[in-house]
Protein backbone atom coordinates (compact mmCIF):
# COMPACT_ATOMS: atom_id res chain seq x y z
CA UNK A 1 0.00 0.00 0.00
CA UNK A 2 1.40 3.34 -1.06
CA UNK A 3 1.18 6.63 0.79
CA UNK A 4 -1.22 8.99 -1.01
CA UNK A 5 -0.27 11.97 1.12
CA UNK A 6 0.94 13.11 4.52
CA UNK A 7 -0.27 16.36 5.95
CA UNK A 8 -0.33 18.12 9.31
CA UNK A 9 -2.18 20.66 11.36
CA UNK A 10 -1.64 22.66 14.53
CA UNK A 11 -3.62 21.36 17.52
CA UNK A 12 -3.20 21.76 21.33
CA UNK A 13 -1.69 19.74 24.15
CA UNK A 14 -2.69 19.25 27.81
CA UNK A 15 -0.94 22.47 28.86
CA UNK A 16 -2.75 24.47 26.20
CA UNK A 17 0.33 24.76 24.01
CA UNK A 18 0.29 24.27 20.24
CA UNK A 19 1.49 20.91 18.99
CA UNK A 20 1.40 19.06 15.71
CA UNK A 21 -0.95 16.39 14.43
CA UNK A 22 0.08 14.47 11.31
CA UNK A 23 -2.24 12.59 9.02
CA UNK A 24 -1.33 9.81 6.60
CA UNK A 25 -3.57 8.51 3.83
CA UNK A 26 -3.09 5.21 2.08
CA UNK A 27 -5.96 3.89 -0.02
CA UNK A 28 -9.10 4.14 2.08
CA UNK A 29 -7.12 4.39 5.31
CA UNK A 30 -6.49 7.68 7.08
CA UNK A 31 -4.55 7.61 10.36
CA UNK A 32 -3.29 10.38 12.64
CA UNK A 33 -0.82 10.98 15.46
CA UNK A 34 -0.24 13.91 17.84
CA UNK A 35 3.08 14.78 19.46
CA UNK A 36 3.62 15.30 23.20
CA UNK A 37 5.98 17.91 24.63
CA UNK A 38 8.32 18.06 27.65
CA UNK A 39 9.03 20.80 30.21
CA UNK A 40 12.14 19.43 31.92
CA UNK A 41 13.77 18.54 28.63
CA UNK A 42 17.24 17.11 28.12
CA UNK A 43 19.58 19.45 26.28
CA UNK A 44 20.48 16.72 23.78
CA UNK A 45 16.89 15.96 22.79
CA UNK A 46 15.95 16.22 19.13
CA UNK A 47 14.74 19.74 18.37
CA UNK A 48 11.10 20.64 18.77
CA UNK A 49 10.56 23.28 16.08
CA UNK A 50 8.62 26.31 17.39
CA UNK A 51 7.73 29.37 15.31
CA UNK A 52 9.25 31.88 17.77
CA UNK A 53 6.79 34.51 16.60
CA UNK A 54 4.21 36.60 18.42
CA UNK A 55 1.41 34.05 18.25
CA UNK A 56 1.17 31.69 21.22
CA UNK A 57 4.18 33.32 22.89
CA UNK A 58 6.45 31.91 20.23
CA UNK A 59 5.20 28.34 20.72
CA UNK A 60 3.28 27.98 17.45
CA UNK A 61 4.23 25.01 15.25
CA UNK A 62 3.14 26.28 11.85
CA UNK A 63 6.65 25.99 10.41
CA UNK A 64 6.74 22.33 11.42
CA UNK A 65 3.27 21.89 9.90
CA UNK A 66 4.49 23.42 6.65
CA UNK A 67 7.52 21.12 6.62
CA UNK A 68 5.16 18.14 6.72
CA UNK A 69 2.79 19.54 4.11
CA UNK A 70 5.50 20.46 1.63
CA UNK A 71 8.90 18.84 2.06
CA UNK A 72 7.97 15.62 3.85
CA UNK A 73 4.86 15.01 1.78
CA UNK A 74 6.86 15.45 -1.41
CA UNK A 75 9.34 12.72 -0.38
CA UNK A 76 6.95 10.25 1.23
CA UNK A 77 4.18 10.30 -1.36
CA UNK A 78 4.24 6.98 -3.21
CA UNK A 79 6.39 5.14 -0.64
CA UNK A 80 5.12 1.85 0.77
CA UNK A 81 3.49 2.55 4.11
CA UNK A 82 4.83 -0.64 5.74
CA UNK A 83 8.46 0.35 5.11
CA UNK A 84 8.78 2.08 8.47
CA UNK A 85 12.55 2.11 8.64
CA UNK A 86 12.92 3.35 5.12
CA UNK A 87 10.34 6.08 5.67
CA UNK A 88 12.03 7.26 8.89
CA UNK A 89 15.43 7.15 7.18
CA UNK A 90 14.09 9.21 4.29
CA UNK A 91 12.88 11.92 6.69
CA UNK A 92 16.16 11.86 8.64
CA UNK A 93 18.15 12.28 5.43
CA UNK A 94 15.84 15.02 4.20
CA UNK A 95 16.39 16.85 7.49
CA UNK A 96 20.15 16.38 7.24
CA UNK A 97 21.05 17.34 10.83
CA UNK A 98 21.99 15.27 13.90
CA UNK A 99 19.00 16.50 15.88
CA UNK A 100 16.26 17.08 13.30
CA UNK A 101 16.64 20.83 13.67
CA UNK A 102 15.69 21.55 10.06
CA UNK A 103 12.35 19.82 9.73
CA UNK A 104 11.69 19.70 13.48
CA UNK A 105 11.59 16.46 15.47
CA UNK A 106 7.94 17.26 16.19
CA UNK A 107 7.18 17.20 12.46
CA UNK A 108 9.16 14.01 11.83
CA UNK A 109 7.87 12.04 14.81
CA UNK A 110 4.23 12.96 14.17
CA UNK A 111 4.51 11.58 10.63
CA UNK A 112 6.50 8.57 11.80
CA UNK A 113 3.80 7.57 14.33
CA UNK A 114 0.93 8.20 11.92
CA UNK A 115 2.71 6.00 9.33
CA UNK A 116 3.01 3.19 11.92
CA UNK A 117 -0.72 3.41 12.63
CA UNK A 118 -1.65 3.43 8.96
CA UNK A 119 0.62 0.44 8.27
CA UNK A 120 -0.94 -1.56 11.13
CA UNK A 121 -4.34 -0.82 9.65
CA UNK A 122 -3.34 -2.00 6.18
CA UNK A 123 -2.12 -5.24 7.74
CA UNK A 124 -5.36 -5.49 9.72
CA UNK A 125 -3.55 -6.03 13.00
CA UNK A 126 -3.48 -4.07 16.25
CA UNK A 127 -0.94 -1.29 16.63
CA UNK A 128 0.88 -3.11 19.45
CA UNK A 129 1.13 -6.25 17.32
CA UNK A 130 2.60 -4.29 14.45
CA UNK A 131 5.06 -2.53 16.77
CA UNK A 132 6.08 -5.95 18.10
CA UNK A 133 6.64 -7.05 14.50
CA UNK A 134 8.73 -3.98 13.69
CA UNK A 135 10.86 -4.58 16.77
CA UNK A 136 10.96 -8.33 16.08
CA UNK A 137 10.04 -8.94 19.71
CA UNK A 138 6.57 -10.50 19.72
CA UNK A 139 6.57 -10.94 23.49
CA UNK A 140 3.63 -8.73 24.30
CA UNK A 141 3.27 -7.75 27.88
CA UNK A 142 1.21 -5.32 29.90
CA UNK A 143 3.37 -2.92 31.92
CA UNK A 144 3.60 -2.36 35.65
CA UNK A 145 2.69 1.34 35.73
CA UNK A 146 4.80 3.96 37.49
CA UNK A 147 2.23 6.59 38.43
CA UNK A 148 3.27 10.08 39.43
CA UNK A 149 0.94 10.88 42.34
CA UNK A 150 2.95 13.74 43.91
CA UNK A 151 4.12 16.24 41.28
CA UNK A 152 6.97 18.65 41.85
CA UNK A 153 9.69 20.69 40.16
CA UNK A 154 8.87 22.27 36.80
CA UNK A 155 5.56 20.37 36.57
CA UNK A 156 4.28 22.13 39.66
CA UNK A 157 5.93 25.54 39.51
CA UNK A 158 8.55 24.60 42.12
CA UNK A 159 12.32 25.04 42.22
CA UNK A 160 15.00 22.90 43.87
CA UNK A 161 12.59 20.03 44.12
CA UNK A 162 12.46 16.36 43.17
CA UNK A 163 10.08 16.23 40.20
CA UNK A 164 8.09 12.99 40.52
CA UNK A 165 7.08 10.56 43.26
CA UNK A 166 5.40 7.51 41.81
CA UNK A 167 3.55 4.47 43.07
CA UNK A 168 4.60 1.20 41.47
CA UNK A 169 2.31 -1.79 42.05
CA UNK A 170 4.80 -4.61 41.40
CA UNK A 171 2.78 -7.06 43.49
CA UNK A 172 -0.38 -6.82 41.36
CA UNK A 173 -1.28 -9.94 39.42
CA UNK A 174 -2.62 -8.21 36.34
CA UNK A 175 -2.70 -4.79 34.75
CA UNK A 176 -6.30 -4.21 35.77
CA UNK A 177 -5.45 -5.12 39.35
CA UNK A 178 -2.51 -2.68 39.20
CA UNK A 179 -4.97 -0.01 38.03
CA UNK A 180 -7.34 -0.73 40.88
CA UNK A 181 -4.59 -0.50 43.49
CA UNK A 182 -3.20 2.70 41.99
CA UNK A 183 -6.56 4.42 41.65
CA UNK A 184 -7.50 3.52 45.22
CA UNK A 185 -4.20 4.87 46.51
CA UNK A 186 -4.62 8.02 44.41
CA UNK A 187 -7.98 8.70 46.06
CA UNK A 188 -6.71 7.84 49.55
CA UNK A 189 -3.90 10.32 48.96
CA UNK A 190 -6.30 13.00 47.78
CA UNK A 191 -8.33 12.58 50.95
CA UNK A 192 -5.20 12.74 53.08
CA UNK A 193 -3.94 15.86 51.29
CA UNK A 194 -7.23 17.69 51.82
CA UNK A 195 -7.41 16.66 55.45
CA UNK A 196 -3.87 17.85 56.13
CA UNK A 197 -3.62 20.95 53.93
CA UNK A 198 -7.20 22.02 53.13
CA UNK A 199 -9.42 21.65 50.08
CA UNK A 200 -7.00 23.36 47.64
CA UNK A 201 -4.56 20.51 48.23
CA UNK A 202 -6.73 18.37 45.96
CA UNK A 203 -5.54 20.42 42.93
CA UNK A 204 -3.02 18.81 40.62
CA UNK A 205 0.19 19.40 38.66
CA UNK A 206 0.90 18.78 34.97
CA UNK A 207 0.98 14.98 35.28
CA UNK A 208 -2.16 14.63 37.40
CA UNK A 209 -0.50 14.25 40.81
CA UNK A 210 -1.04 16.42 43.88
CA UNK A 211 1.37 19.16 44.94
CA UNK A 212 1.99 19.36 48.69
CA UNK A 213 3.21 22.79 49.78
CA UNK A 214 5.99 21.40 51.93
CA UNK A 215 9.70 21.29 51.15
CA UNK A 216 10.84 18.30 53.19
CA UNK A 217 11.21 15.29 50.88
CA UNK A 218 10.73 12.74 53.63
CA UNK A 219 7.41 14.32 54.61
CA UNK A 220 6.24 14.08 51.01
CA UNK A 221 7.18 10.42 50.70
CA UNK A 222 5.57 9.79 54.09
CA UNK A 223 2.26 11.02 52.67
CA UNK A 224 2.44 8.41 49.92
CA UNK A 225 3.34 5.63 52.36
CA UNK A 226 0.37 6.63 54.51
CA UNK A 227 -1.98 6.51 51.53
CA UNK A 228 -0.64 3.07 50.59
CA UNK A 229 -1.13 1.85 54.17
CA UNK A 230 -4.63 3.25 54.19
CA UNK A 231 -5.57 1.05 51.23
CA UNK A 232 -3.83 -2.05 52.60
CA UNK A 233 -1.43 -2.49 49.66
CA UNK A 234 1.81 -2.08 51.60
CA UNK A 235 3.18 -5.43 50.41
CA UNK A 236 2.28 -4.96 46.76
CA UNK A 237 3.18 -1.34 46.06
CA UNK A 238 6.67 0.18 45.96
CA UNK A 239 7.80 3.75 45.35
CA UNK A 240 9.76 5.13 42.39
CA UNK A 241 11.15 8.65 41.99
CA UNK A 242 12.24 10.84 39.07
CA UNK A 243 14.50 13.54 40.48
CA UNK A 244 14.99 15.39 37.15
CA UNK A 245 18.11 16.61 38.89
CA UNK A 246 19.47 18.56 35.89
CA UNK A 247 16.91 21.15 37.03
CA UNK A 248 18.53 21.61 40.47
CA UNK A 249 22.19 21.17 39.46
CA UNK A 250 24.10 24.44 39.68
CA UNK A 251 27.85 24.87 39.33
CA UNK A 252 28.69 21.33 40.36
CA UNK A 253 26.25 21.05 43.25
CA UNK A 254 22.70 19.83 43.75
CA UNK A 255 20.08 21.84 45.63
CA UNK A 256 16.98 20.20 47.11
CA UNK A 257 14.84 22.37 49.36
CA UNK A 258 17.27 24.14 51.70
CA UNK A 259 19.98 21.51 51.30
CA UNK A 260 23.10 21.47 49.13
CA UNK A 261 24.83 18.25 48.04
CA UNK A 262 27.77 17.08 45.96
CA UNK A 263 27.28 13.85 43.95
CA UNK A 264 28.56 11.62 46.79
CA UNK A 265 26.37 13.31 49.39
CA UNK A 266 23.37 13.15 47.10
CA UNK A 267 23.93 9.41 46.63
CA UNK A 268 23.95 9.00 50.43
CA UNK A 269 20.74 11.05 50.64
CA UNK A 270 19.09 8.74 48.07
CA UNK A 271 20.43 5.67 49.86
CA UNK A 272 18.73 6.85 53.04
CA UNK A 273 15.43 7.49 51.21
CA UNK A 274 15.60 4.02 49.61
CA UNK A 275 15.80 2.26 52.95
CA UNK A 276 13.14 4.38 54.61
CA UNK A 277 10.55 4.46 51.83
CA UNK A 278 10.78 1.26 49.82
CA UNK A 279 12.13 3.03 46.74
CA UNK A 280 13.06 0.58 43.97
CA UNK A 281 13.94 2.89 41.09
CA UNK A 282 15.51 6.34 40.74
CA UNK A 283 15.39 8.28 37.45
CA UNK A 284 17.77 11.13 36.62
CA UNK A 285 19.29 11.00 40.10
CA UNK A 286 22.23 12.94 38.65
CA UNK A 287 22.35 15.77 36.11
CA UNK A 288 22.75 15.11 32.39
CA UNK A 289 26.25 16.63 32.25
CA UNK A 290 27.49 15.01 35.47
CA UNK A 291 28.61 11.64 34.05
CA UNK A 292 30.95 11.16 37.01
CA UNK A 293 28.05 11.63 39.42
CA UNK A 294 26.16 8.91 37.53
CA UNK A 295 29.10 6.53 38.01
CA UNK A 296 29.12 7.17 41.76
CA UNK A 297 25.36 6.61 41.96
CA UNK A 298 25.36 3.40 39.90
CA UNK A 299 28.45 2.04 41.63
CA UNK A 300 26.81 2.47 45.03
CA UNK A 301 23.13 1.70 44.35
CA UNK A 302 22.99 0.00 40.93
CA UNK A 303 22.95 -3.54 42.35
CA UNK A 304 20.12 -2.72 44.71
CA UNK A 305 17.73 -0.64 42.61
CA UNK A 306 16.95 0.42 39.05
CA UNK A 307 18.94 3.50 37.96
CA UNK A 308 17.11 5.14 35.06
CA UNK A 309 18.59 7.53 32.51
CA UNK A 310 16.24 10.08 30.96
CA UNK A 311 17.88 13.46 30.24
CA UNK A 312 21.20 11.60 30.30
CA UNK A 313 20.26 9.28 27.41
CA UNK A 314 17.51 11.14 25.51
CA UNK A 315 16.54 7.81 23.86
CA UNK A 316 19.64 8.16 21.67
CA UNK A 317 21.83 5.11 21.00
CA UNK A 318 24.93 7.31 21.05
CA UNK A 319 24.40 8.15 24.73
CA UNK A 320 23.04 4.69 25.59
CA UNK A 321 26.24 3.14 24.23
CA UNK A 322 28.36 5.53 26.30
CA UNK A 323 26.32 4.81 29.44
CA UNK A 324 26.63 1.05 28.92
CA UNK A 325 30.38 1.33 28.49
CA UNK A 326 30.83 3.54 31.52
CA UNK A 327 28.27 1.76 33.72
CA UNK A 328 26.40 5.03 34.25
CA UNK A 329 22.94 3.55 34.80
CA UNK A 330 21.02 0.31 34.21
CA UNK A 331 17.73 1.32 32.58
CA UNK A 332 16.43 3.48 29.73
CA UNK A 333 13.52 5.87 29.91
CA UNK A 334 12.14 5.74 26.38
CA UNK A 335 10.42 8.83 24.96
CA UNK A 336 9.59 8.72 21.27
CA UNK A 337 9.75 12.49 20.75
CA UNK A 338 13.15 12.74 22.44
CA UNK A 339 14.77 11.01 19.47
CA UNK A 340 12.10 11.81 16.91
CA UNK A 341 11.08 8.62 15.11
CA UNK A 342 9.53 5.22 15.73
CA UNK A 343 12.44 3.27 14.20
CA UNK A 344 15.07 5.03 16.28
CA UNK A 345 13.00 4.49 19.45
CA UNK A 346 12.82 0.78 18.69
CA UNK A 347 16.58 0.69 18.07
CA UNK A 348 17.19 2.31 21.47
CA UNK A 349 14.97 -0.22 23.22
CA UNK A 350 16.68 -3.14 21.48
CA UNK A 351 20.17 -1.94 22.32
CA UNK A 352 19.08 -1.64 25.95
CA UNK A 353 17.59 -5.15 26.01
CA UNK A 354 20.73 -6.61 24.46
CA UNK A 355 22.67 -5.17 27.36
CA UNK A 356 20.26 -6.47 29.99
CA UNK A 357 18.90 -3.06 30.80
CA UNK A 358 15.28 -2.43 31.70
CA UNK A 359 13.22 -0.08 29.53
CA UNK A 360 10.39 2.15 30.72
CA UNK A 361 8.17 3.67 28.03
CA UNK A 362 7.29 7.22 29.08
CA UNK A 363 4.87 10.05 28.39
CA UNK A 364 5.81 13.76 28.44
CA UNK A 365 4.50 16.29 30.94
CA UNK A 366 2.64 17.99 28.07
CA UNK A 367 0.48 15.17 26.72
CA UNK A 368 -2.42 14.68 24.33
CA UNK A 369 -5.28 12.30 23.67
CA UNK A 370 -2.94 10.18 21.56
CA UNK A 371 -2.46 6.73 23.11
CA UNK A 372 0.38 5.53 20.86
CA UNK A 373 2.76 4.86 23.77
CA UNK A 374 0.30 2.42 25.36
CA UNK A 375 0.57 0.19 22.30
CA UNK A 376 4.31 0.79 22.16
CA UNK A 377 4.97 -0.46 25.68
CA UNK A 378 3.00 -3.66 25.00
CA UNK A 379 4.57 -4.20 21.57
CA UNK A 380 8.10 -3.80 22.91
CA UNK A 381 7.21 -5.93 25.93
CA UNK A 382 9.28 -3.74 28.27
CA UNK A 383 7.07 -4.43 31.29
CA UNK A 384 7.19 -0.88 32.69
CA UNK A 385 5.35 2.32 31.80
CA UNK A 386 5.43 5.89 33.09
CA UNK A 387 2.23 7.64 32.02
CA UNK A 388 1.41 9.90 34.99
CA UNK A 389 -1.32 9.77 37.60
CA UNK A 390 -4.60 7.96 36.86
CA UNK A 391 -6.36 11.28 36.35
CA UNK A 392 -7.22 13.58 33.44
CA UNK A 393 -7.83 12.09 30.04
CA UNK A 394 -4.43 13.02 28.59
CA UNK A 395 -3.05 10.38 31.02
CA UNK A 396 -6.01 8.01 31.28
CA UNK A 397 -6.28 7.59 27.52
CA UNK A 398 -3.10 5.51 27.82
CA UNK A 399 -4.38 3.46 30.77
CA UNK A 400 -7.74 2.89 29.11
CA UNK A 401 -6.01 1.68 25.95
CA UNK A 402 -3.93 -0.72 28.06
CA UNK A 403 -7.15 -2.09 29.59
CA UNK A 404 -8.50 -2.72 26.08
CA UNK A 405 -5.29 -4.47 25.06
CA UNK A 406 -5.36 -6.54 28.26
CA UNK A 407 -8.86 -7.68 27.36
CA UNK A 408 -7.87 -8.51 23.78
CA UNK A 409 -4.82 -10.50 24.92
CA UNK A 410 -6.79 -12.26 27.68
CA UNK A 411 -9.25 -13.54 25.13
CA UNK A 412 -6.31 -15.16 23.36
CA UNK A 413 -4.82 -16.33 26.68
CA UNK A 414 -1.79 -14.17 26.00
CA UNK A 415 -2.03 -11.48 28.69
CA UNK A 416 1.37 -11.38 30.34
CA UNK A 417 1.80 -8.71 33.02
CA UNK A 418 5.17 -7.23 33.99
CA UNK A 419 8.43 -8.72 32.77
Q: How many other CB atoms sit within 10 Å of the CB of residue 86?
A: 11
Under the phi-then-psi rule, with left for phi > 0, alpha for psi from -120 to 50, and beta for the rest, what region is 327? Answer: left
Contact segment (CB under 5 A) with Mg ion among 41-49, 111-119, 257-265, 309-317 equals 309-317
What are the residues binding ligand 2PG (CB under 6 A)?
38-41, 164, 207, 242, 244, 310, 362-365
Segment lying near Mg ion (by CB under 5 A), choices 73-81, 304-312, 363-371, 402-410: 304-312
Verify binding: residue 242, Mg ion, rule CB under 5 A.
yes
Is residue 95 a contact residue for Mg ion (CB under 5 A)?
A: no
Nearest-approach distance from CB 368 to ligand 2PG, in angstroms: 12
Q: Alpha-carbon distance 323 to 157, whole Å?
A: 31
Under the criterion CB under 5 A, does residue 288 sit at the interface with Mg ion?
A: no
Q: Give CA–CA dist 391/169, Å, rounded.
A: 17
- Residue of 23, 45, 207, 217 marked catalytic: 207
- Per the DSSP assignment, residues forming a β-bridge with 5 are 25
- Decide whether 116 or 298 has the Cβ nearer to Mg ion: 298
Q: Choosing among ligand 2PG, Mg ion, none, which partner's interface includes residue 358 (Cβ < 5 to 8 Å by kind)?
A: none
Q: Which does 41 bind (CB under 5 to 8 A by kind): ligand 2PG, Mg ion, none?
A: ligand 2PG
Residue with nearest beta carbon to Mg ion: 310
- Among the listed residues 405, 342, 340, the one whose alpha carbon sits nearest the alpha carbon of residue 378: 405
**Rounded to an integer, what distance in angstroms lies between the CA atom of residue 188 and that of residue 201?**
13
How far is residue 128 from each of residues 69, 123, 142, measured CA to CA in Å? 27, 12, 11
Q: With respect to ligand 2PG, which residue has the nearer C-beta, 3 or 244?
A: 244
335 is an active site residue: yes
- Residue of 100, 154, 220, 335 marked active site: 335
Q: Which residues contact 350 (CB under 8 A, 6 or more apart)?
A: 135
Residue 71 dihedral angles phi and psi, to the nearest 5°: -65, -50
Q: Compute the least distance from the CB of residue 364 to ligand 2PG, in Å.
A: 3
**What residues make contact with Mg ion under the rule CB under 5 A?**
242, 283-284, 310
Active site residues: 207, 335
Amino acid sequence: MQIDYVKARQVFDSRGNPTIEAEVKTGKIIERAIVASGASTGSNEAIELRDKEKAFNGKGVLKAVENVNLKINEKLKGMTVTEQENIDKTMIELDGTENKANLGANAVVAVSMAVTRAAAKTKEISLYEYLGELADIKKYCLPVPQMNVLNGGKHAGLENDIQERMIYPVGAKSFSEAMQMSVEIYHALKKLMKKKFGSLAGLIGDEGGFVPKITDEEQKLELILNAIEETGYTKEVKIVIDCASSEFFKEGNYFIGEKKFNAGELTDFYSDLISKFNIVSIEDGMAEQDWQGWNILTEKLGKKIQIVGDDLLVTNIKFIEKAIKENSCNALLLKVNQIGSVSESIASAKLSFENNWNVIVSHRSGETEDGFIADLVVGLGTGQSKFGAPARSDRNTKYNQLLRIEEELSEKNKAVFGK
